Amino acid sequence: MTGLVRRVRALPLRARLSLLVAAAVAFAVAAAAVACWFVVKSVLVSSLDEALKANRMTKQQVSQYVNLRTGACAHDPVTHEQNPFGSSVQLVDGTGGSCLIIGTQEVPLSDADHAVAEGRTTDALHDATGDDGAQYRVYTYSVLPELGVAVSAARPLGEVNRSLNDLALVLVIVAGAGVVGAGAAGLWVARTGLRPVDDLTRAVEHVARTEDLTVRIPVADDSDDEIARLSRSFNSMTSSLASSRDLQQQLIADAGHELRTPLTSLRTNIELLTRSEETGRPIPEADRKALLASVKAQMTELAALIGDLQELSRPDTGQHEGRTRILAWHDVVESALRRARLRGPELAIDADVRPWYVRAEPAALERAVVNILDNAVKFSPDGGTIGVRLADGVLTVRDHGPGIPADELPHVFDRFWRSPSARALPGSGLGLSIVARTVQQAGGTVALTRADGGGTTATIRLPGAPVPPPEGDVRQAAEDR
């Protein structure tokens, strides 16, 4: 049995479906055929029983064949040609004796027949086997109870069995044809139904062989079955993979472009310092200090760029969930404000920060707020004012710098994008991309707009509450910070 199951599992899916359909149809047809055979048998036997009961002999008819004083048979049985009842008939007395009065075949009597003759029951119906080996349907009934005489009529079951055999042959032929037809239909249905699976298989094999993620499986718009949903899921998966690969390639290309500038500057400055040492012609002290300062600045810019690339290389969803905590956002903003005041001591920062608790990744959220404030410090004029306000989960940072042209606003959150007017300033063009990513992971939104009177307003909205969560979460958040 285990080997059979193993061989069936090794068959192709089409063959298994066809076999399953054929087996199901075979079982259903077999059950219907057996039920039909038993029903027809019951009807035919019942009809035979009715015929036996309808041809019951009366006392007057029996009196022609029996001695009314002794209850014994009066003369020899009549033949079937003279038989008005269409059956073999024999008399049964209460002492267990019997005699054939009509027909040529005497059927052995049973206890049920003797019970009728003795008056214990009124009649009896049963099957019996004659001396010739044939099957008979026997009906015994009481006729002369005062003499203890009963009549037992027997009709051969051959006519019923012949009809049942013919019916069985027809049912076998019909069932066999039905099973074969069902197998063929199952194979056709399997081929038709699994055609989309073949398309999907070929598409997967094509992707695995060529790494071509542009392949798509055609799906009817009005189709919503399992195969259609699987095809749509495959198309969506390949689209996502293609988009992800394009983004990775773009990120690599942009990163290579951005890394080239600081690396080139570093190499140039180091070559100048090295050549000075090799030729023995020292660089003037002022120029040497300027070169070292440039090297340090380029290394700092390079380290910041690598850190930004590492931040952007993290998955957008899923893995950051384990690092999120309940945070006091107002504390994060205050910490970022202290750093901003150190970077722009000549600027005035007008802050209004009110309590607000959010769920986010601590380091990522602080970096996002610092990036927003750094941009405000970078583009604010000397002696300018930066307005910072946190209320009801909305952080606004407003500077009075040159502002962002309207045609550049849609691109400010793109990776490595930098405004033409800001390309001479330090930066990698990744800061706002990191801000957008962090805010999105925290379930919020971020936007940059032109401010009335000049400058730019950055707005970050995060879901949360003005009161701390339960004591346990606050303690956990404090420990994490």
**Over the stretch 238-279, which tens digit does the pLDDT of each residue have?**
888 887 777 677 667 666 666 676 777 788 888 888 888 777
Residue 113 has pLDDT above 90, yes or no: no
Q: For position 442, what pLDDT does the model report?
A: 87
For 289, the token pair is 């200090």
Are 123 and 133 in contact by the 8 Å Cβ rule? The answer is no
Percent pLDDT > 70 in the chain is 79
User: pLDDT (tens digit, 9 = 90+) per residue, 435-480?
Assistant: 888 888 888 999 988 888 888 999 999 999 998 876 444 334 434 4
Q: Give the C-alpha distances (Å, rounded to integers) separating 300 from 256, 305, 372, 419.
A: 17, 9, 19, 21
> pLDDT class for 322, splitting at 50, 70, 90?
low
- Per-residue confidence band for 397, with pLDDT thresholds at 50, 70 and 90: very high
Distances (CA, A) of 264 to 198, 258, 270, 294, 428: 53, 11, 10, 12, 15
240 burial via Cβ count (<10 Å: 0-12, 13-18, 19+): exposed
Other Cβ atoms within 10 Å of 181 Cβ, number? 12
* pLDDT score of 480: 47
pLDDT tens-digit readout, 202-229: 888 888 888 777 777 777 777 777 777 8
Determine the residue type at 425.
Answer: L
CA dist 143 and 57 (Å) reads 8
H or E segment and range at residue 45: helix 13-54
Residue ranges per structural domain of the chain: 69-154, 226-313, 320-480
From residue 104, how far is each of 74, 79, 88, 131, 137 by CA, in Å? 16, 6, 7, 11, 16
* CATH code for the domain defined by 226-313: 1.10.287.130
What's the token pair of residue 137?
Answer: 């349907």
φ/ψ (deg, to 5) at 62? -65, -35
φ, ψ for residue 356, nearest 5 deg: -160, 130
Fold observed for domain 69-154: Beta-Lactamase (3.30.450)
Check if the beta carbon of residue 142 is closer than 8 Å to that of residue 116: yes
Domain at 320-480: CATH code: 3.30.565.10
Sequence-ordered list of residues with C-beta below 8 angstroms from that of 252, at least 6 positions apart, any chain: none
Q: What is the 3-state secondary structure (H, E, C) of 409-460?
A: HHHCCCCCCCCHHHCCCCCCCCHHHHHHHHHHHCCCEEEEEECCCCCEEEEE
Per-residue pLDDT averaged across 364-393, rounded?
88
Threshold 0.85, pTM exceeds: no
**Alpha-carbon gap, residue 372 to 376, rounded angstroms:** 6
Element (H, E) at 261: helix 226-279
Range in 55-64, 390-399, 455-464 the model is least confident about: 55-64
Q: What is the mean pLDDT of residues 375-398?
A: 90
Q: Which of 367, 331, 366, 371 is nearest to 351 (CA)?
A: 331
Please state the rounded mean pLDDT for residues 337-350.
87
Q: Which two tokens stand for residue 360?
A: 């986010």
Q: Is the pLDDT of residue 83 over 70?
A: no
- DSSP letter at 418 equals -
- Ramachandran angles phi, psi of 448, nearest 5°: -120, 130
What is the residue-averaged pLDDT of the chain? 78
pLDDT digits (tens, 9 = 90+) for 306-319: 766 666 666 555 44
Q: What is the pLDDT of residues 151-165, one digit of tens each?
A: 888 888 887 888 888
124-136 mean pLDDT: 84
Residue 129: predicted pLDDT: 85
Average of per-residue pLDDT across 348-375: 89
Assess contact for 293 and 273: CB atoms under 8 A: no
For position 77, what pLDDT does the model report? 63
pLDDT grade for 351, boundaries at 50, 70 and 90: very high
Q: What is the pLDDT of residue 394?
A: 93
* pLDDT score of 481 more than 70: no
Mean pLDDT of 22-46: 87
329 and 364 Cβ atoms separated by less than 8 Å = no
The one-letter code for the residue type at 394 is: V
**pLDDT band, very low/low/confident/very high, at 323 (cuts 50, 70, 90):** confident
